[in-house]
Structure 1
């Protein structure tokens, strides 16, 4: 929404969005009934809404803080900052289909990225090295196929998915539990800046809103709602990632989960999801083939919106990406070193790093691929060994 040409409407929207306790459902109902933000604000000031008896809400609507609204307008006037309201064509269509959609989104970065086919990748904040490598590998493969990778900027799996996508030169979207100008956790400030340059930061909370415990479950429904499907990489049984997965399921979206060792507490949430109907996946190609038809339709809509040429790479494809777009893989010489180091007795990843001279993160990715290909088995306690022929 352009600040100068739509100032009255924008101010009305900001006042309504900041009204304590008004809520997205009430705001949407007011807009539907009265047709514009200005008319909806006038009606709200007359008490024509269910929160009319709330003194804090009524007080704000009558006399909003001018400095706060001015700060919001200043933030929105900056380049690549936007407010997408549900009553405009810029608002992501998929988000209107969830059970409790937001009324508006504050965006820092490329707002059109929200119309790209998206896959959510979520998981534990305290992920294992193997889980981080898995998230990164899936993010690279899905991004190379044409998906924007969406997550919540948290530590662990979220951060690994965002970083891998950025490093591959592809688009990632972070949905925040704070205002769009704040970063939580603070250690991800640099990551957030990269995302704003190469994708988008998204929040339903106005600028300056600090993170609160109730904000993050609300953020999770937007992650799921923007995406065609949600992939859970590692999650404990009480993980917030399971909330995202439930939101996805309730919105009619696909849920995918990666299985793990029965001895790994971070695999139990994924196993619980699989028992509840989530699709067990071992490769990114399984997700791509499942979501490609939906993604192609969404990509066509985006191409029309942007008046992009038909050759623009906006559509997810189930075909392998062209040469030069695949994520880098370790050279065969590194695999030879790893095979030479592996034996039939399990070795820990630190021992393998010492024997091969390879980085732990590189080894984690290589061991994952070899395990999926049946060449390596993961032993109890986190060790790895060559698979014995005939071994299950």
Structure 2
């Protein structure tokens, strides 16, 4: 944690108060460093109140900044990403109320990977838990990451399902501080996700949380995802809030129908009546999200600075043309064959990580170069 811009971002976060003026200040100046250097006149013009301006004048930023720096320096996997920094997830950044910054534990690149949110009741039925696990595992096998809130019930089952898949990816979005797993009985799950996936929160380390933090985190949950699948939900529930926010943000919303005698299915039935897609299999969701994943793929190409252009060979079938010579994409292409190959073998052949391979394989799949079935990959062209 030695970036000047990161330190400036911490001071902006520590200033507290309304987020909108600070977001406007960043819009006006392009970076946290420039925003702080702009001075009181610019701060006032952006709408910062006297307390916020006074906080920005303090050179150290106070005890909060000291504590946050200590957390960031504690391990390589500890990060904070500001809204105006290039690593901020593009899907989340499109929200009008995106957080000024997100705190990340684990692999930040996973936040750019196409994902589907799986949400539902904390007091789920046995059938609901099974559905959440099975759907999440199938999503992970198909190459999607699974995003959920690490709460009891459906959230926990969804994370476990994703982790059960070979090289399965999952993202946990907390309503608590980034360093405080909730509920505490999920501490082991928190550690596993941090080691192999990503944990995210907008609440800085060491900070207290309130009941309002949990509904607020739902916008991050759906903001990181291409779509939301509601497994079980009461009429008034956090899952229903997430689905409503997703619909308002233009995300795909799906619901699994249940028994008319199960009160936890009523929220799903209401969502279906209101226009959510009724789904009975994971494949229906994967197929529906394939088109919207293209948009994220375009953003990811820019971030990787390694565009994949589809160029036909003499017989009109896409080949290796357009893959940067000597690039990781070329290395992956040569590691692939026409026989299905598992992720572990691709990691061994290329020396790349599963997360790096997953992003490239998804782009190749969208371009029609690669086919995936049961978590194994093969070429579709010569």
Please report the TM-score for the alignment, with normalisation by the length of structure 2.
Answer: 0.77
Any residues of structure 2 matched to 1:320-359 within 5 Å, and which? 321-322=372-373
In structure 2, runs of 5+ residues without a counterpart are 307-327, 334-356, 378-382
User: Structure 1 stretch 140-149 or stretch 29-38: which is displaced more?
Assistant: 29-38
Matched, 1:147 2:144: yes
Matched, 1:313 2:358: yes
Matched, 1:31 2:26: yes
> Quick one: distance in 2 between partners of 1:65 and 1:291?
43
Task: Name the counterpart of 1:279.
Answer: 277
SS in 1 for 2:36: helix
C-alpha change, 1:286 and 1:18, in structure 2 (3 Å) is same
Task: Name the counterpart of 1:183.
Answer: 181
C-alpha change, 1:33 and 1:149, in structure 2 (3 Å) is same
Moved over 6 A (4+): none
Task: Name the counterpart of 1:75.
Answer: 71
> Quick one: distance in 1 between partners of 2:250 and 2:183?
30
Q: Any conservation in 2 of the 1:99–1:251 contact (CA below 8 Å)?
A: no
> Quick one: distance in 2 between partners of 1:257 and 1:230?
8
Number of residue pairs matched by the alignment: 319
C-alpha change, 1:59 and 1:88, in structure 2 (3 Å) is closer
Matched, 1:116 2:90: no
C-alpha change, 1:142 and 1:294, in structure 2 (3 Å) is same
Question: Offset of 1:10 from its aligned partner?
Answer: 1.8
SS in 2 for 1:21: coil
Question: Offset of 1:266 from its aligned partner?
Answer: 0.1
**RMSD value, Cα:** 2.4
C-alpha change, 1:324 and 1:68, in structure 2 (3 Å) is closer
C-alpha change, 1:80 and 1:173, in structure 2 (3 Å) is same
Matched, 1:12 2:57: no
2:18 paired residue among 18, 22, 32: 22
SS in 2 for 1:183: coil
Task: Name the counterpart of 2:126.
Answer: 129
> Quick one: distance in 2 between partners of 1:121 and 1:260?
16
User: Structure 1 stretch 264-273 or stretch 64-73: which is displaced more?
Assistant: 64-73
Task: Name the counterpart of 1:41.
Answer: 36
C-alpha change, 1:162 and 1:44, in structure 2 (3 Å) is farther
C-alpha change, 1:293 and 1:161, in structure 2 (3 Å) is same
Q: How far does the alpha carbon of each residue in 1:86-110 deviate from its partner, in whole angstroms, 9 at most, with x for none?
A: 2122111111212311121111100
Question: Offset of 1:263 from its aligned partner?
Answer: 1.0
Q: How far does the alpha carbon of each residue in 1:328-379 deviate from its partner, in whole angstroms, 9 at most, with x for none?
A: xxxxxxxxxxxxxxxxxxxxxxxxxxxxxxxxxxxxxxxxxxxxxxxxxxxx
User: Structure 1 stretch 229-238 or stretch 302-311: which is displaced more?
Assistant: 302-311
Task: Name the counterpart of 2:164.
Answer: 167
Q: How far does the alpha carbon of each residue in 1:292-325 deviate from its partner, in whole angstroms, 9 at most, with x for none?
A: 1222553465366445426433318699844575
> Quick one: distance in 2 between partners of 1:81 and 1:325?
31
Please report the TM-score for the alignment, with normalisation by the length of structure 1.
Answer: 0.75
C-alpha change, 1:12 and 1:79, in structure 2 (3 Å) is same
Question: Offset of 1:38 from its aligned partner?
Answer: 3.0
1:267 paired residue among 265, 270, 282: 265
Q: How far does the alpha carbon of each residue in 1:40-99 deviate from its partner, in whole angstroms, 9 at most, with x for none?
A: 23557555143414x4x4553344653321221121122111111121221111112123
C-alpha change, 1:323 and 1:244, in structure 2 (3 Å) is closer
In structure 1, runs of 5+ residues without a counterpart are 327-392
Q: Any conservation in 2 of the 1:228–1:253 contact (CA below 8 Å)?
A: yes
Task: Name the counterpart of 2:347.
Answer: none
C-alpha change, 1:323 and 1:42, in structure 2 (3 Å) is closer
Task: Name the counterpart of 1:361.
Answer: none
Question: Offset of 1:28 from its aligned partner?
Answer: 1.6
Q: Any conservation in 2 of the 1:153–1:174 contact (CA below 8 Å)?
A: yes
Question: Offset of 1:280 from its aligned partner?
Answer: 0.6
> Quick one: distance in 2 between partners of 1:179 and 1:294?
31
2:89 paired residue among 71, 87, 92: 92
Structure ID, larger Rg: 1
